[in-house]
């Protein structure tokens, strides 16, 4: 099947708009997760946490629908989209960020049900989450800037890389703290899984910056 040039450009624009909407959704997921960790730190009840977890599930489902819609648009023009593989990687990484956030939220809820609470650990976790949130926020701003301002885009990509390094440092300190703690094995395993998922989100954000650079090599 052949497409006129205008039709291809229309589909490419649709792909970008859907990708930008997906970026907004993962920002929403991270916002709710960060608030959930804040609620746990402040010893809010399980019902409040469950409400936020259900909200995360809803947004995660919306992210998956957007990924599916974007994939359909990519398949429409197939090999005519020169950057096809990079776009597929981009939407897949965004989807993984949403998955990691949902996974972290589920484990937080599990810890709450187990009756776990440690003020110091949760304060450190909240700090880590806040910084991961900043990385995802900058990622959203970068993806929105793709169609607006290349200088802003480049600046945001650099900021994401810097933020990922900060997250990595906080993650390592918290991981050592957990390993040196006297937590029970179930609590330790769940907490370490949560911190690893948060760190993975920052890593995915940095990975996406490399994909964007490959998609738009003229960025500087």
**C-alpha 93 chain-centroid distance:** 8
Q: Which tokens go with 197?
A: 């998922």
* pLDDT score of 46: 87
Residue 187 lies in a domain: yes
Residue bearing tokens 């229309």: 10
104-154 pLDDT per residue, tens: 999 999 999 998 989 999 999 999 999 999 999 999 999 999 887 778 888
Q: Which tokens go with 202?
A: 């920052």
* pLDDT score of 73: 82
Residue 60 pLDDT more than 90? yes
Which residue range forms the structural domain that includes residue 198?
5-215
Residue 145 lies in a domain: yes
Sorting pLDDT into bands at 50, 70 and 90, what band is 183?
Answer: very high
Average pLDDT for 43-66: 94
Residue 57 lies in a domain: yes
Residue 31 lies in a domain: yes
More confident residue, 71 or 175: 175
Sorting pLDDT into bands at 50, 70 and 90, what band is 2?
Answer: low
Alpha carbon distance 89, 67 (integer Å): 11
**Number of separate domains in the chain:** 1
Per the CB < 8 A criterion, the answer to whether 152 and 145 are in contact is yes
3-49 pLDDT per residue, tens: 566 666 777 788 889 999 999 999 999 999 999 999 999 988 889 99
Residue 19 lies in a domain: yes
Alpha carbon distance 32, 91 (integer Å): 21
Q: For position 14, which CATH number holds?
A: 1.20.58.220
Mean residue pLDDT across the chain: 90
Residue 220 lies in a domain: no
Residue 121 to residues 130, 176, 179, 191, Cα–Cα distance (Å): 14, 11, 12, 9
pTM beyond 0.85: the answer is yes
Residue 115 lies in a domain: yes
SS (HEC) of the chain: CCCCHHHHHHHHHHHHHHHHHHHHHHHHHHHHHHHHHHHHHCCCCHHHHHHHHHHHHHHHHHHHHHHHHHHHHHHHHHHHCCCHHHHHHHHHHHHHHHHHHHHHHHHHHHHHHCCCCCHHHHHHHHHHHHHHHHHHHHHHHHHHHCCCCHHHHHHHHHHHHHHHHHHHHHHHHHHHHHHCCCCCHHHHHHHHHHHHHHHHHHHHHHHHHHHHHHHCCCCC
Alpha carbon distance 27, 149 (integer Å): 20
Residue 156 pLDDT more than 60? yes
Residue 114 lies in a domain: yes
């Amino acid at each position: 099947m052949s497409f006129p040039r205008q039709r291809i450009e229309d589909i490419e624009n649709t792909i970008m708009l859907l990708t930008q909407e997906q970026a907004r959704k993962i920002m929403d997921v991270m916002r709710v997760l960060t608030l959930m960790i804040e609620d746990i730190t402040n010893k809010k009840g399980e019902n409040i946490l469950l409400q936020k977890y259900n909200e995360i599930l809803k947004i995660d489902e919306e992210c998956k629908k957007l990924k599916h819609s974007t994939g359909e648009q990519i398949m429409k023009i197939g090999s005519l989209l020169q950057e096809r593989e990079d776009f597929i990687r981009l939407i897949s990484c965004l989807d993984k960020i949403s998955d990691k956030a949902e996974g972290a939220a589920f484990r937080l809820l599990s810890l709450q049900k187990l009756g776990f609470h440690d003020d110091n650990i949760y304060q450190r976790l909240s700090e880590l989450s806040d910084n991961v949130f900043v990385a995802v926020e900058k990622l959203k701003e970068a993806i929105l800037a793709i169609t607006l301002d290349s200088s802003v885009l480049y600046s945001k990509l650099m900021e994401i890389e810097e933020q990922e390094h900060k997250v990595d440092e906080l993650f390592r300190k918290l991981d050592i703290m957990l390993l040196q703690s006297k937590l029970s094995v179930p609590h330790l395993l769940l907490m370490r899984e949560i911190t690893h998922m948060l760190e993975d989100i920052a890593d995915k954000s940095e990975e996406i910056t490399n994909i964007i650079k490959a998609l738009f090599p003229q960025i500087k």
